[in-house]
Copies of this chain bind each other. A is one copy, B any other.
Amino acid sequence: MPSTSIDRDDIIAAAVEVLKERGSDGLTMRAVAARLGVSPIPLYTKVGDKNALLDAVAEELLDQVRVDLDDHGPWADQAERWAQGLRRGLRSLPDRRVLLHNHGRWALVGATRPLLVALRAAGLPRDQSVRICRILTWATVGFVAVEAGVDYVEDEPHLAYGSTVPGGDPTGVSSTDVDALYSSQIRFLIEGLSREVDELSTPTAGRGRRLPKG
Contact A185 B127 (CB under 8 A): no
A166 to B127, CA, bound (A): 9
Contact A100 B138 (CB under 8 A): no
A149 on the interface (CB 8 Å rule)?
yes
Number of this chain's copies in the assembly equals: 2
Question: Which residue of B126, B146, B191 contacts A188 across the interface (Cβ within 8 Å)?
Answer: B191
| Chain A 146-170 interface mask (CB, 8 Å, partner B; 1/0) | 1011110000001001111111111
Contact A170 B130 (CB under 8 A): yes
A170 to B119, CA, bound (A): 14
Q: Is the interface of A mostly helix, strand, loop or mixed?
A: helix
The interface residues of chain B lying within 8 Å CB-to-CB of A166 are 131, 211, 214
Q: Given A149-B102, A189-B188, answer yes or no on A130-B180 (Cβ-Cβ < 8 Å).
A: no
The interface residues of chain B lying within 8 Å CB-to-CB of A209 are 164
Contact B149 A103 (CB under 8 A): yes
Q: Can you spell out 12 A-B residue pairs with CB atoms less than 8 angstroms apart?
A: A100-B100, A102-B149, A127-B158, A127-B163, A127-B165, A134-B173, A141-B146, A142-B146, A164-B208, A164-B210, A180-B214, A187-B213
